[in-house]
Structure 1
Amino acid sequence: MVAVRRRSGGGRRTTEAPGPADLSVLDHLSELRDRIIKSAAAVTVGAVVCWFLYPWIFDVLVDPYCSLQGAAVDDCRLLQTEPLEAFSIRLKIAGYGGVALAMPVLLWQVWRFVVPGLHANEKRWAYPFVGSALVLFVLGATLAFHTLTPALEFLTEVGGEGLQQQFRPAPYFELITYMMLAFGVGFEFPIVLVFLQLAGVITASSLRSARRYAVVGIVVVVAVITPSGDPYTLGILSIPMYLFYEISILIGTLLTRRSDER
């Protein structure tokens, strides 16, 4: 589709590429379909790769449990109690791994779908926001993985010595997945706060005055989103989130000041 517009000064006509306002609802739906297909294809390719890398991924994920048992990865085992559990675990690891590998493609497709509707001053923040979101999510997930061993120590010791610890693969991998997801989402906290400040929804001064409430709110949110619920994990995630809160105030103040000067 080509939009034809008349110049105000004469009869000559110029042709321009269609903008968001020139596209119909069907055009937007068609573009959304294409973005979803490309995203699904990227996740599928990533899942196939992770399917063949399953033995290596399994050894990496089971390492915290092996450290808890004081054994090498080759010598410790998870307890399988159902015949289809092994196949289900491999499918889940391949699926989650495919999403993780395809995350840059997914963020790029979201960016390409949203960018036509943004103003020029909003577009220039897209790359920093998308890149920062990806980096922070990876950092959060990595921190969660390294936090898992002390969290497991607390969870296994809190029940006393009368319990023999041997984990089943499904609950164990669900705990790892939810922990990494919770930390990854928690590390997106500064991105949200900076965006809200740039959008004018909140201000740096209002964030400063709400520090006391922010501390309580962060602790409550972390207690809700972390599946283990142990105090070690609570502190490990709450402290970075509060630091991010202070950093977002500083970044929002600087960016807003520069925007006002322009």
Structure 2
Amino acid sequence: MALMDHFRELKSRLFKAALGIVLASIGGWFLFDMVFNSLQQPVIDSAEAAGQLISVNFTGVATALDMRIKVSLFVGLVISSPWWLYQLWAFITPGLARKEKIYAYGFVGATVPLFLGGGLLAWLVLPHAIGILTAFVPEDSANLLDAQTYLSFVMRLLLAFGLAFAMPVLLVGLNFMGLLSAATMLRGWRWAIVVAFTFSAMMTPTPDALTMILVALPICALYFVALGVAWLHDRKAAQTMERLDAELADY
């Protein structure tokens, strides 16, 4: 494929991906009330438990509109993730062999549920985090949370956990490309655990160790699953090479 053809293909894929995100964001616009109610429910529950004034506050004239647009785009990005990931791989895979294309589609199929699973875990951690953090508000005081700041906090939490859960797919992809061996991953398992617990300690906005452990354990488990897949792939590749060497020797 000529260079200009690559640019035209890239332009087409980017347009299709953007169109999918925009259409999903339109749906997100109509889902805003449901999503926002879910976002502020942990705050409401914390306020009731503490008997204090704790609420999400819109500080500007256009803050409500701005937040609705951001939530719609975020929901659209999540909903359309299978579509824009497919467009990404569709741009990459034309030069790949049939078997390599199957691997590529498999990676996309694994990345989406892992990303969503990480986001779901973050969503389950969120009420616990809000409850602990708002418990530090002094008695007879109010905690008016800026809507923009609160939304950014939740979005960063969801995206960070989603990306962390999808990271093992990247490791397997590097292994299938021959850039990372299972032996290297095995030698680095201690560092992987340290990184997982450090990430969990930084990203879980709660001071308790239990939440950190509950978040870190699935990340560690996914690392060892990726290690197992890489080991099986390396073993199969080694057996294939041995068979080819034997055939060449007989020939």
Instruction: Give TM-score, length-normalised by structure 2.
Output: 0.85
1:31 paired with 2:9, answer yes
State the alpha-carbon separation in 2 of the partners of residues 210 and 158 from structure 1.
39
Mapped contact 1:81–1:168 kept (Cα < 8 A): yes
Q: CA RMSD in A?
A: 2.2
State the alpha-carbon separation in 1 of the partners of residues 201 and 55 from structure 2.
30
Which region of structure 1 is more displaced relative to structure 2, 115-124 or 246-255? 115-124
Q: In the alignment, which residue of structure 1 is the partner of 2:126?
A: 148
What does 1:1-262 correspond to in 2, within 5 Å?
A: 23-70=1-48, 77-158=55-136, 161=139, 163-224=141-202, 226=203, 228=205, 230-231=207-208, 233-262=211-240
**Structure 2 gap segments, 5+ residues each:** 241-251
State the alpha-carbon separation in 2 of the partners of residues 160 and 215 from structure 1.
37
Which SS does the other structure have where 1:78 is aligned? strand
Deviation at 1:260, TM superposition (A): 3.4
Aligned partner letter, 1:228: P
Which SS does the other structure have where 1:228 is aligned? coil
Q: Relative contact order (alpha carbons < 8 A, sep ≥ 6): 1 or 2 greater?
A: 2
Mapped contact 2:204–2:211 kept (Cα < 8 A): no
State the alpha-carbon separation in 2 of the partners of residues 258 and 239 from structure 1.
29
Aligned partner letter, 1:90: R
State the alpha-carbon separation in 2 of the partners of residues 79 and 185 from structure 1.
29
Deviation at 1:258, TM superposition (A): 2.7
**Structure 1 gap segments, 5+ residues each:** 1-22
Question: Could you report, residue by residue, the CA deviation over 1:211-256 in whole angstroms, capped at 9, with x for unpaired residues?
Answer: 22222222334445x2736445533332211111111111111222
Q: In the alignment, which residue of structure 1 is the partner of 2:245?
A: none
Mapped contact 2:204–2:212 kept (Cα < 8 A): no
State the alpha-carbon separation in 1 of the partners of residues 56 and 187 from structure 2.
49
State the alpha-carbon separation in 2 of the partners of residues 143 and 39 from structure 1.
26
Judged with a 3 Å threshold, the aligned counterparts in structure 2 of structure 1 residues 56 and 261 are, in CA distance, closer, same or farther, namely same
Deviation at 1:106, TM superposition (A): 0.2
Aligned partner letter, 2:18: A
Aligned partner letter, 1:172: Y
Aligned partner letter, 1:57: V
Judged with a 3 Å threshold, the aligned counterparts in structure 2 of structure 1 residues 153 and 211 are, in CA distance, closer, same or farther, namely same
Instruction: Give TM-score, length-normalised by structure 1.
Output: 0.81
State the alpha-carbon separation in 2 of the partners of residues 208 and 114 from structure 1.
29
Mapped contact 2:118–2:162 kept (Cα < 8 A): yes
Count of paired positions: 235
